[in-house]
Amino acid sequence: MMGIQKVMVIGAGQMGSGIAQVCAQAGYEVKLNDMKQEFFERGYGVISKNLTRDVEKGRKTEDEKAAILARITMSLDLQDASDVDIIIEAAVENMEVKQSIFQQLDKIAPAQVILATNTSSLPITEIAAVTNRPEQVIGMHFMNPVPVMKLVEIIRGLATSDEVYKAVEEMTVELAKTPVEVNDFPGFISNRILLPMINEAIYALYEGVASKEAIDDVMKLGMNHPMGPLTLADFIGLDTCLSIMEILHEGLGDSKYRPCPLLRKYVAAGWLGKKSGRGFYVYE
């Protein structure tokens, strides 16, 4: 397999912009794709702010910052996938959206190109099945905030080749992250364990066991979690949390994974957490 040099990231949201940043920091050329220029600019703005903080803290020079930003270019058209080595998709957590993107990419990108998805929970095998190259499709699951968190969960679909797995594992190490290999089951490892805890915290709030602050304090001060579960839910995005719980519920068929009605209500209200300004807490 040819070495990976050019990367395309689909979706310039909180995850896509973080993935673009760490790829550019590691020296890859990055095309950051979203549907509208304003979405690209929002993501690019976050990257620029992160790098400015690194310069202020003395971790990077102004020249390094400029070089990293210069490696990131805007893409508003999936046709730009025609000359990259790997595509990492980080659009919304929705199977129809992801399958549609993968179907298009399969037609545009040359046959050897790896198609990776940053999905939190959707089956890699089902995404791969809409392409003519299921052996080239793989899960590359980064954690939020991407520039800080060390883990990349690498998920093999049913047909993923060893060669593709190895190339993605090597790239993960290049990005200064630690790869962990996981098979394709709902929620993989990370979200199979994390999301039921968050959902249970929402049930505790829903049932009036304690206030949101008290629930978060118990887990922060009692278990040394860096954030309480309700703060973390807001940070991940309540729409993403609900999608993951639905995948666990459907995919594993056990009622213990049922999403809390309060989570559904907040998402229906558009209270999506930090990214929309309001979730369990109010931001600004």
Ligand X SMILES: CC(=O)CC(=O)SCCNC(=O)CCNC(=O)[C@H](O)C(C)(C)COP(=O)(O)OP(=O)(O)OC[C@H]1O[C@@H](n2cnc3c(N)ncnc32)[C@H](O)[C@@H]1OP(=O)(O)O
Ligand Y SMILES: NC(=O)C1=CN([C@@H]2O[C@H](COP(=O)(O)OP(=O)(O)OC[C@H]3O[C@@H](n4cnc5c(N)ncnc54)[C@H](OP(=O)(O)O)[C@@H]3O)[C@@H](O)[C@H]2O)C=CC1
What is the biggest distance separating any 2 CA atoms in the chain, rounded to whole angstroms? 56
Q: In the numeric block, which tokens belong to residue 45?
A: 């703005």
Taking the complex as a whole, the smallest distance from the CB of residue 239 to ligand X amounts, in Å, to 11
Report whether 20 contacts 30 (CB < 8 A): yes
Catalytic residue among 17, 75, 121, 191: 191
Length of the chain: 284
Note if 82 is an active site residue: no
Catalytic residue among 50, 75, 120, 190: 120
Which residues of the chain form contacts with ligand X (CB under 6 A)? 50, 53, 57, 120, 143-145, 147-149, 190-191, 194, 226-227, 232, 236, 240
The neighbour count for residue 200, using CB atoms within 10 Å, is: 14
* Closest to 113 measured CA to CA, from 96, 132, 98: 132
Contacts of 268 (CB under 8 A, 6+ apart): none
Q: Based on CB atoms, which residue is closest to ligand X, 85 or 216?
A: 216
Residues 14-43 as x/- pattern, contact with ligand Y by CB under 6 A: xxx----------------xxx---x----
How many residues touch ligand Y under the rule CB under 6 A: the total is 27
Among ligand X, ligand Y, none, residue 237 binds (CB under 5-8 Å by kind): ligand Y
Instruction: Give the whole-angstrom CA distance, residue 230 versus residue 202.
Output: 7
Taking the complex as a whole, the smallest distance from the CB of residue 174 to ligand Y amounts, in Å, to 20
Residues 57-96 as x/- pattern, contact with ligand Y by CB under 6 A: ---------------------------------xxxx---
* H/E stretch holding 10: strand 6-10
Question: What residues are labeled active site?
Answer: 120, 141, 153, 191
